[in-house]
Each structure stands twice: as C-alpha cells, then as structure tokens.
Structure 1
Amino acid sequence: MKRFGGMVPVSVRTDNSRDVEIMPSNLSDFNVYGGLYRYVNLVYAPKLHVEKVFAAAQVDQAGKKGTVNVRARFNKEAAGTNSAEVKLNLIDPSGKTLQSKTVQLQNFKGDVNISTFDINKPILWSPDQPMLYTAELTATIDDGTIATHKEKIGFKNFEFVKKGPFMLNGKRLLLRGTHRHEDHGGVGAAMTEDLMRKEMIMMKEMGVNFIRLGHYQQSRIILNLCDSLGILVWEEIPWCRGGLGGESYQAMGKRMLTNMIEQHYNHPSVIIWGLGNENDWPGDFPEFDTLKIRNYMKELNDLSHKLDPSRKTAIRRCDFCKDIVDVYSPSIWAGWYRGRYEEYKEISRRGFESVDRFLHVEWGADNHALRHSEDPEAYLKEVKATGEGDERSGDAVRRGGNARASSDGDWSESYFVNLADWTLKEQETMPWLTGAAQWPFKDFSTPARPENPIRYMNQKGVTERDLTKKETYYVFQSYWAQKPMVHIYGHTWPVRWGNEGEEKMIKAFSNCDEAELIVNGKSYGKKKRQSQDFPAAGLRWNIPLTKGTYHVKAIAKKGKTIIEDEMSFEYQTEKWGKPAKMLLTKSTSGDTTTVYVQLVDKNGVRCLDAKNNFRYGYTGSGRILDNLGTSRGSRYVEAFNGRGQISVKGTNGFVSVQCEGLPNAFIEL
C-alpha cells in the first residue's frame, strides 16, 4: 500500500484476438474494436442497493389510460435483509410528483414486483413531443442504509399493421430513418459524449425520427439522446454474418440479447429488438445449416418476447428466417448494388407483399466527399433495370461482376443526390410503407473495403467521418425537416465545366413552398416546390453559362418566413487531356497549414474529372493530420475533381505528394 500511496491499483486487460466462437464475425463490414472506449465506473455497493429497475409504461390505444408497473432487482446480499420500506414516486415531465406509494418488502430474491401506478390522460411520448416521466424508487432498511434509483420512461402505443403502415399513438407515422456505427475520425469508437450529442442532434435536424443502431448494443448515452430528442430505435445484437457457431457462441448471443433488453428496457424510444443481420452470409464455419440457423433464430425470438412482450423483433436480410420475426427487412439497394434507382418503389412493394410486416433498412450509395459530376448518369449506360435490388457476393468490390453503379459509377456526391432525391420522393407516395432507414448517417471505417476512394472506409454517409455535411444531407432535410431551409447544390463544387453558352442545371433543395434563383444579380424566376417533380422537387433552373465566375443566391419562402442561401463557382470551358503534373499551393490558419493539390494536363488546364490517387508525406517538426477517414484527412486517397487536400499541425517542414505516372511534387511550409 505504501508503494501506491494508500490507493488500491486496478488494472484491466483487454484482448481483441480473433475467436470464431465470439460474435461478431470478422466478415462484418465494420471494425471490431478492442479496449475500453465507453465510461468505466467503480461502483460502491452498500449492503442494500438496486441493481435494476424495470418500469413498464403502457397506454391504451385511445391514449387515455396509462399504467406503470415497477419491478426491481436488488443485490444478492440484500436477500439476507429482513425488510425494507420502499417508496415509489411518479414524476411528470415538468418535475411535478403525480403519485407516491410506499410498500414494505420482505422478499428481495429475483425480480420483485413493487407496485403499479394508474394515470389518466398521460402526456404521450412521440418524435414531435418526446415527453419523459420519471419513476423514482427509494429503499430504506433498519440500519439506515438507503438505496435510490431513477428511470426515465414514456407513454406511447405503437403498431406495425399487418400488411400495412406503422402507427404511433393511433396515427400513421412514416419512419424516416438512418443508421449509426460507433466510429469517428481520429478517435475510432472512443467518441466523447459531446461528439455523440452533436451527431444525434444533427440527425434530428435532418428530420430523422427513427434509427437502427448497427450492429451491436450501443452506449446508454445514445439511447438517452434518442429518448430526449424523439428518435425511435431498432437496437440489435452483433450476430452479423459468418453463420452459426457452437454452444458457447449461441450462449453468448442469448446473453447479449438478455443484457441489451434488460439494460435498455425502460427507454421509451425503443420499439424493436434486432436479432441479427445478414445471417444468410456463410464463411466462418465448415457447416452452414439453414435449419439450425432457423432453430436458433426461433430461440432468440422466443427469448426476446419472454423478456419484453411489449417490443417487436426484427432481422435484416435472411429470407429463410423472415417468417420467424415480427418485422422483416429484405436487402434492397436499387440503383447501387443492383438495377436502377427508378425501380425502388416496385421492388419495395414486392418485399412488402412477401411478409406480414415490412420495414426497409439499408439503402443509399457510396459517395466520395467533394467529388461532383456534370452528368453522373453517363457512367451507367450498361446498367439495366433488372427488377431486383438485393446485394450479392462481390457487389461491394469496385470491379467485375454485373454492370452496376457500385462498380461502373463515378462515386460522386452528384449521383447519390439523384438517388436519394428519387427515393425520398417515391417514399412520399407509398401509403403502405412503414418506413425506411438510409445507410448510414456517417462514413465509417471497415476492414472489408480496401479499394474504396478512401481506403477501408464505407462512404455511404450523408456526412463524412468527422460529421462534415455532404450535399445529400440537405436533400434529406428538404423532405424530412420541419424548420424552413434552403440549400443550393454544390457548395463544395468550386469549378463546373462545359461548353461556352451551354445550359447547366442549378438546383436548390428546400422544404419551403417556393424559391427564387438569382445569378449574378439577375433573377431567373420563382418556382413552386412540388415533391413529385424530379429532380429537386421542381426547384431547378437551366442557366446558360459562359466562362467566368458566378454568384448564385436562392431566396425561399414558407408562409411569412423568408430564408436565403448563396454560393459562388467558376465555370471552365477549356477542354483537358490526361493529367501531366500536380500544382501545389498552401494556406495557413493559426498553427495549421493546409496544402492543396490540383491535377493539370500538359497545357496547364485543370483536369476536373480526374480520380487519380494521391499519397501524401510530411517531413518536419509538426504532425500530418491523416488517418481521419475523410477526403481531406487521409494519407492515401483518390482525388475529387482532380483536387486533393491535406493539413499539417505545424508551420514548417515539407509536404510531398505522389501520384502514379506523374512527377512527385513538393512544397515547403
């Protein structure tokens, strides 16, 4: 004790070695992190303490009669206690105590039923009004030991209508969703609470009312934020790909499911417990027995309903198990891994008709941030409508196989904007649709994608890995958000190109009733927003451009509210050949220097569609800001429109840039 100054040292050893009998599979399309990256607490446990409280808040379909049944689980040592006085308080969202009850307990074994509250006309929890009550339990024994526990709860009723839509509190609600991985540029899974809060608020501001937390139990901080922000939740265990292991593997899955449900039972945001993802994907075990997988899925389904009869069960992409769970999502990637995005509605309808309760999770397209295209569809002439939208083995690879956008497309933000715009306007006209969840909100790291423009990154996010918004964020916002907004497409597209006098489309995404476009001081008229007028819900203008600089302003109006957005770009008419060299420039802000790369042809003309790879190096006393998993924060990365960018924390030294087939380039900081 002297050695440690009277303190007791505690050491924690973690091991992330691969064990095929441990979920999740290494075939999963996300990094399986080791180490401690969530809060770790040393807990003082007195003679009597509360381990868990289960507060089941329910309300009838009319929303008029609510009940809260409270059970508690005490520590094992409490079983030796003769009795305790337990006081329960039910506190409304304003902090007012509505009801109090006091009971005497003599039994502390197992889950102890404490009491039930009846409440008339509770304020219902919903995405628009996420009202939270508090259940407070205080237990006191004869020696004066007091144990207190609080849980936030909410009253709601929901239904996935058989062969129909999703209902919340008696009204249809279209689930407008996204996905989240615990991953962030520079910190990996070790996200701070501030970063988590920023991420979830950005989702809510985009208009999200539903999230699937893929593909593992996530931090209670995220669940708390979903409760308070009003975001409905599908949370799942990490049975993801690889097949089915032996007894220890299966026991782990059941233990994970039990822990997830018990730990997040009280969160009013949760509506679905997910039992697995892509369980039709073999590879970890010599045997892939669909019957055994079905039997295990049934066991998980039964366990979930036993632990929590109030929530639904669901899986994604395992057709031979789709009849077991309450809600099923097939694989539909229309316009990316298969077919064209114009087929989305029909493919979704067939999926809807194949099960009792349908919910579409995972759709979208990879898009390399800051890469734009004048004609993103030009690359897809060989991609035909197939009537199918499922992802198949090898589709994620950028070469070979059938013609598809994931291999033949340009991976531009422009293409994803078109795909999202079309899909969202279609979802507005599908009254039978429960909802859909775009995949994912933010780019994330993965061992499965070494050939992507940013190596080992899944780039389907509407934000970059550091939460920098991509253009598609505003497309979703224009369909989903309630607060008036307007955004001209192309804020990160500084140079457009084409022929002299050629008409170019300028799009504004807005949820306002109308918008006016002004280019270099000249109005090009007002247009009414009509959601079914693709693209940009009719807010588009074809403007003849000549070589030069353009300043564009959009003025949008919704009722008496008027908002504006503006941006500038240059228009290039010179044609270019293949890249011949790199031009480097720099800028300094405080103690950070940023280096910019531009590919030009032999005549010095900018190559605005070049996708060459850049490899950055740095020599000096500072630190290169790489390995962030972003277009401007990666050491080896594809160009965006012939450009590249890297930053250095420091103002001295040299930055080098390599590009295969071209002379190396250097710049002194």
Structure 2
Amino acid sequence: MRKIKIFCFALLWLAQNARAQQQTRLTTNWEFLKQDLGGIWEAVRPVTAGNPESLPLWQKVQLPHCFNARDAVDPDVNYYQGPGWYRTQLDINNPYANGRTLLHFEGAGQKTDVYIYTTKVASHLGGYDEWVADITQAVADFKKTDVFKKQFKGKIPLSIRCDNSRDLESIPSQLSDFNVYGGLYRYVNLVYTPVLSFDKVFASVTLEAGRQSAKLNVKARFYNPVNIPSAAGEIKVTDPAGKIIAQTKYSLNNLDGDSQIGSFNIKKPQLWSPDDPSLYTVEVTVNNNGQTCTHTEKTGFRDFKFVDNGPFMLNGKRLLLRGTHRHEDHAGVAAAMTEKMMHTEMQQMKDMGVNFIRLGHYQQSRIILNLCDSLGILVWEEEPWCRGGLGGEKYKNQARTMLTNMIEQHYNHPAIILWGLGNENDWAGDFPEFDKEKIRAFMKEQNDRAHRLDPSRKTTIRRCDFCADITDVYSPSIWAGWYRGVYTEYKQSTEEEFKKVKHFFHAEWGGDSHALRHSENPDKALAEIKSGSGTDERLGDASLIGGAARVSKDGDWSESYICNLFDWHLKEQETMPWLTGSAFWVYKDFSTPIRPDNPIPYMNQKGVVERDGTPKESYYVFQSYWTTRPMAHIYGHSWPVRWGDAGEQKMVKVYSNCDNAELFVNGKSYGTRKRNSQDFPAAGLHWLVTFNKGNNDIKVVAHKGKTTVADQITQEYQIDKWGKPAQLQLEKINDADGIQTVQVKLLDNKGVLCLDAQNWVTFSLAGDGTLLDDLGTSRGSRKVQVYNGRAIISLKTNGGKSAVAVQSPALPSIILNL
C-alpha cells in the first residue's frame, strides 16, 4: 500500500492566500456514517440508489461536523466514542504544471486516516493541531484507472475515517472535564500549490531603543517534495494602514531546514495592545520556473514582562490581565463551530472587557487566534496534556509533537504571550504508576522544548504544585467560595500563593450557576462553610455528594450567588497592585462527560453565557468593571417573579460603569448613588426598596460624563406562601415562525407557585413536531432542574400537531396538546 507523505505541521498561509495558490473550503456534499466500516471498499463500492442491500446507510452532512453534536448532552446515554466515516467526491484540476494537491485539515478528532479511492494517503494522531495530506500522486494514479472514468465520472473519491475511541496512551486524558470529541469539526481545505511553496514563515519581532524602533527577522521553511536546489523571492512589509514600509529580495542555494530570508529595522512601530491591536503584514514570495507562490503573515510589535514578584507589563506599562477561558463547544454543534459562531463569541468577550484568554486545554482554531490578534486579546495557549498522569513513549511522543505543532503553527500571533505545558498534572488515574519525578522530568523536557522553539514567550502550567518551579509562570488552585472556603478569603489566599513563586497568575476561579435560577438569600450556604481551611480544589470537591460543606455542593447554584462571588473578586482585584491578572473559569457553559448530575446533565455551568451564547446576569458584572463604554444593567432580567412579605424591603442591584445612577420603582425615585467599586455589592449601586404585590416597573438612569444610559425591567412580587410542590402546570407561552415554546410550573396543593423548587423535570414529545433539546442550555434540555419553580423548552411544529408531556418524580405527569 502506497503512503504519500503527510505533514503534521500545517501550512500557515492557507487561510490568507488565494492569489498564488488556490484553496477551497470543502463544506458541502459530504456523507457521514457514525460507525466503523468493514474496510475502505465499503466506502467506495458501487451502490444502487434505493437498494435496501446498499448498507450501511450514510447521512448527508455539512462541514464542520462533530460526531457528538447532540449526544454530548443527551441525559440518557454516554456520548459516542468510536470511529466514524466521511466521504465525498472531488473535482481535481490543479492549474500548476507539476503542482501539488493538498488537503489541509484545521483540526480533526482524534485519530484520522485519509483515503483516495482505496489508497490510504495519510494518518494523523491528535485532535487539535493542523496537518496537511499531499494527495498529488494518489490522484494522478487514480485518474489513470477505468474506475475513475466509468464509475466516478471523472471525480476523485475521498474517504476519511475519524476515531475518538478511548485510549489511555493518547492525550488529553478521558478524566478531563470536557468531551474528547470526534469528527471533522474544523474546516477541511483543498489546496493547489506550485511545485515549490512554503511550509511555514516565521516572523520574529524585537523592540529596541525604548520601543522607538524594532527588528523584524523573517525565516522560511519550504515545502519542496521534489528537492529543487535553489530559489529566489521577495519580502514586503506593510504597516497597519496598508503602506509598504520595507521590502527586499532574497536568493537561496539551499532550501533545507529553516532559512533566514530577510531582516528589517522598523522605525517608530505602531505597538500592538488590547486597546490598539495594530497588525503589520509580511508578504513573502518564492519563484521557480515561472511559478510564484505567495505567503502572507500578520504580526505585531509589542513586548511584555512578568515582573519578578510583581505585576504584568505590556509595552512598558502595567496591564491588569482581565481574563477568561474558552472551550471549542457550542449548543447544537458541539466542537463544529462555524467561523461566524467564533467571531460572534469572541466579539461578545471583547464587549465584556476581556483582554486575556486561556485557550483550554488544547490548541484551538486558527480563526480564534486571528480574532485574538485583531480584537486585542492576549493569549495563553495550551497543549492537551491534561490530567491522568504520564503514559509511555507513544504518549510522550504525541505530547512532544503537539507542543511543537502548536508553537510552530501559531508562532506569529502577537496575541500569544504564554505557552501552556499542562493542566492539573497532579491528577492521577490513567495508569497504575503515578510518579511525580517522572512527571517533573517530562515537564522539564517540554519546558526546554518550548523555549528552544520560541525563546520570545514564557511557559506556564496550572495546578501542579510539584512542578511549580519548572515553568516561567505558575497558576495554583484558588476557588474561594466554590470548592473550598468563602469568597471573602480570596485576597488573602491569593497573596499567600503569590509569595510562593516568582511569577504568579490566577487561572480558574468562579463557580457554577444554573441560568434563570435566582435567590432572595444567595449567600445562605456560606454560613455552613468552614473558613480558614484553604480555598484550593481537592479530590472529590467537584462531587455533589459527600465531604465537607462547600458551596459547590450545598449552595443553590443561583445566578444571584455567582454574581456576588464575581463582584467580590473583581472589587478586590482593584486593590491588588502586584497582581498580574486572573482568568475566571469559564466564559461559556460547555459539555463534560463527568458531570451527569448537574442541573443540566453533562454540562459544566460555570460560564457567564450559556452554551448558545445567551448572557447570564454575571456577564454584566464583568462588563461593569472591565469596560469604559457607558452601560447599566438591572440585575434580574431573567427573574420574572421575586418573593417575600408584604412591605418587606428588597435589594435592587444595578451593574454599571457609570459615575452615578438613579433608581425608579413604579415611578418613584429611590435616589441617586455614586459608583464606588469598594462598596459591595454592585459597586454601591444598590437600593433597598418596597415592592407592590404583583407587577413592579423598575428603571435606572445612569450618567457617565455627558452620556446617559438607562435600563428597565418588570418583575412580579409574590407574597403568597407555598408548601411542597404537588402538581405541574403546563402552558404555551410563545408561538412564532413555526417554533412553539412551553413552560411548566411547579405548584403546591393550593395552586401557589413554588419559587424555591429545584425538582427535576423531563419533557417528551409525540406527534409531528421536533423537540429542541440536547442543546445543553436551560431552555434547551429535555431533562433539567427547574429554576424558581419553572422550566422552559421549545419545539419545531413542522406544520403539524404535537403533544408535550412533562414528568417529575413523585408528581402526577401532565400533557399539553399543541
């Protein structure tokens, strides 16, 4: 069997260049099979349409596509881990004489084999790095066959096998708190290049002379499968305004390895920063026998420093890193996010004030890195050595390769400042042996590798204290107010950990919140928590049963509590001048196989937006601290009914970055308050008010300089007391554009809404409609804990009739005909 060379190092120019080489995203005309085949012949053998013996049955899909788009959050099954096949037929017409035809994979999970007809042309191990398969020879050979002309009518059959089966000798560990997805969940590109092209171009930047000048060095690695001995070309450097500021020609007599092809002195460079993410363009050409290949890179001029036992500096000035984390995961598609989805998500982060992101826990899409560059978001990117211990040579070789690929493929992004070498490597479980010294030895090896590949950036890990001295920057475990302790211990815990290392960063803090669940007494659980016993996460703390009292187990998982926790952390960070920064975990709720009992099964609910990007109330807490564009948000947009006694005073909170704000309830002013970040909660923008029974109109008017912003909501106030839930009430609350939405309420035996109920409910559907479930959201899960005595779900009517049923343990089921 012929194997054509596979390149594990992706060609970085593929996303930018269509002028001198041609690329096409292969998104349509794919078929998918969620199982294995008996062999490659089953993917390409002749079949007759409609023949019941033409098995197995394939389904039509578009790329990107993930095996686990729905089953990752199906409450009744484990998510699928195994092989799956994709197939399509290509028109191959390379315009370059003797040119190369390539398939560029931006990421495929987790092990991938590529076939042209029955010939395997490439294999790749690793679900997150980019790679290229050269199919030139296999296509040429197949075009000579009668099968090409007769059976496939001039098209090239392409078949791809992806496999995310469990494998202890592969990273990341299956003990990780995220799904190890399968499929072609990032874009696949068909690329035509001249016979000589670029594999990579490395643009390294050094600021000099008080940042009034900079040196730009350019190296190239060529893709040269026929061993052309020499080449010549040109380099152009363009400033952010599109003006060419430097150019030169080069010639080489040896194309092996990485070749220095240009060096430039740039006067008064525009510095890249979160406030002004100025990007320069480096365009490189190579010429051979009348064919020209052009490669384009973006780069930026900036320098940074983690001050010894001090803060973080960017371009000579202190910058508090205001960060979050990201998984590639989204409602309805899992890892198969489109470019539009990614852009929307990253812009939403920027609008919240994020200037730093940790991409956990694996190399992420080139699209995300490009967005971080253009939006001005600094990056910690991480290899997928996550939990489980340390395997054998196969395991370590994969880690070596994936770290190398990540650094080389994303080398030019000015947004990146940290290479993450691992996550929670103190977490045993995949192997009989857990040897700390062996883990330390491999961590040192990876640390050396990262510095050798890229001396300009720092290395880091999170939560592995026995390796804290190896990397340049260390992040310990501090979960004040969630897994351990109370949130008022945050500053003290952070100071203690800060003193233990030279360069400190706080990655991962926060807690879960069940979207649409609110509380009149959110901090109640803190009274049961023993303070002074540490704020780190320990084995078993994530469990919802057993162990010491902790908010993660004993709290109400309300949006109200998590807003207080975030609010406290953020106000404290403003009083910590030595702090480099922090990144709360995590920006968006994401699926995980190890949390089946969470209020939304198989969901980690620590995001400030839901899995579909819908903001929770906590989004606006961060926005009030981290942004400058005037905003004001009354807490409770997703809290339709509050409760208490008649005449009881209730707190209304407004999250705003404005100088002052005035609150009105039912037309009555409750006065103007000045914002003061140290006046907890809500930076002093909180009022005690008396609600009327029934509906109450709440409005705030806030001022920042000469700018005025306002926000308003309506909340019902319930004074009727309730007993235990005794009955379900099901009603349709919306019907538009073929989508119907229903809501179930839990009532006591007197028909009073049980506003603190947290019972489980399960929706089901019969008839013509389709239930919009398995989305991993509060409104898109057929099994879910109720939020304040209610739960919502929607369905597509498909133009027909349906019946929705709701079950809840120990309560009579109910059916609604639609």
Q: Distance in 2 between matches of 1:131 and 1:157?
A: 13
Q: Distance in 2 between matches of 1:296 and 1:92?
A: 41
Task: Look up the SS of the partner of 2:286 in the other structure.
Answer: strand
CA–CA distance in structure 1, aligned partners of residues 271 and 193 of structure 2: 35
Query: What residue in structure 1 maps to residue 746 of structure 2?
Result: 599
Conservation of the 8 A alpha-carbon contact between 1:338 and 1:386: no
Q: Counterparts in 2 of 1:13-92, with a 5 A limit?
A: 13-60=161-208, 62-77=210-225, 79-81=227-229, 83-92=230-239
How many Å separate the matches in 1 of 2:623 and 2:684?
16
Structure 1: distance between partners of 2:584 and 2:717: 33
Find out whether 1:659 has 2:808 as its counterpart: yes
* Residue among 218, 233, 257 paired with 1:110: 257
Specify the alignment match of 1:10 in structure 2.
158
User: Counterparts in 2 of 1:151-550, with a 5 A limit?
Assistant: 151-550=297-696
Deviations 1:365-395 (A, max 9, x none): 1000000000011233211212511111111
Q: Is the 8 A contact 1:61 1:169 kept in 2?
A: no
Measured in 1, the distance between the counterparts of 2:183 and 2:739 equals 31
Q: Aligned match of 1:94 in 230, 241, 246?
A: 241
Work out the CA distance in 2 between the residues paired with 1:539 and 1:327: 37
1:204-248: CA deviation from partner (whole Å, max 9, x where unpaired): 000000000000000000000000000000000010000000011
Shift of 1:544: 1.6
CA distance in 2, matches of 1:241, 1:352: 24
Distance 1:592 1:335 in 2: 40
Secondary structure at the residue paired with 2:221? strand
Does residue 613 (structure 1) correspond to residue 790 (structure 2)? The answer is no
RMSD: 0.9
Single out whichever of 560-569 and 103-112 deviates more from structure 2: 103-112
Deviations 1:471-512 (A, max 9, x none): 000000000011110000000000000000000000000000
String of CA shifts for 1:268-323, please: whole Å, max 9, x gaps.
00000000000000000010000000000000000000000000000000000000
Contact 1:50 1:149 in 2 (8 A): yes
Which letter does structure 2 place at the counterpart of 1:661?
Answer: A
Task: Report if the CA contact (8 A) 1:128-1:230 is conserved.
Answer: yes
SS at match of 1:424: helix
Using the TM superposition, give the Cα deviation of residue 167 of structure 1 relative to its aligned residue in structure 2, in angstroms.
Answer: 0.1
SS at match of 2:154: coil
Q: Distance in 1 between matches of 2:226 and 2:159?
A: 29
The answer to whether the 8 Å contact 1:339/1:387 transfers is yes
Q: Bigger shift: 371-380 or 444-453?
A: 371-380
**TM-score between both structures, scaled by the size of structure 1:** 0.99
Number of aligned residue pairs:
667
- Structure 1, unaligned stretches of length 5 or more? none
State the 1:350 CA deviation. 0.7
Q: Per-residue CA shift, 1:513-547, capped at 9, x if unaligned?
A: 00000111111111000000000000000002231
Pairing 1:646–2:788 present: no
Gaps of 5+ in 2: 1-147
Contact 1:178 1:439 in 2 (8 A): yes
- Aligned counterparts of 1:348 and 1:505: Cα–Cα separation in 2: 30
Alignment partners' CA distance in 2, 1:56 and 1:236: 20
Secondary structure of the equivalent of 1:79?
coil
Moved more, 587-596 or 507-516: 587-596
Deviations 1:45-73 (A, max 9, x none): 32110110000122137211111100000
In structure 2, give the amino acid aligned to 1:48.
L
Q: Normalising by structure 2, report the TM-score.
A: 0.81
Give 2:722's match in structure 1, choosing from 568, 576, 590.
576
1:152-180 per-position Cα deviation (integer Å, ceiling 9, x unaligned): 00000000001000000000000000000
Q: Is the 8 A contact 2:193 2:293 kept in 1?
A: no
Measured after TM superposition, the shift of residue 140 of structure 1 is: 1.0
1:78-129 deviation per Cα after TM superposition (whole angstroms, max 9, x unaligned): 6323x32210000000110001101121111100110101011100000000
Partner SS state of residue 13, structure 1: strand
Contact 1:275–1:313, Cα closer than 8 Å, also in 2: yes
Distance of 2:373 and 2:556 partners within structure 1: 39
2-structure distance, mates of 1:466, 1:426: 30
Q: Secondary structure at the match of 1:150?
A: strand
Paired position in structure 2 for 1:668:
817
SS of residue in 1 equivalent to 2:764:
strand
> What one-letter code is carried by the residue in structure 2 that aligns with 1:598?
K
- Distance, in Å, in 1 between the alignment partners of 2:166 and 2:648 is 57
Matched residue SS, 1:351: helix
Q: Equivalents in 2 of 1:441, 1:126: separation in Å?
A: 21
Question: Per-residue displacement from partner, 1:438-467 (whole Å, max 9, x unpaired)?
Answer: 100000000010110000000000000000
Moved more, 430-439 or 39-48: 39-48
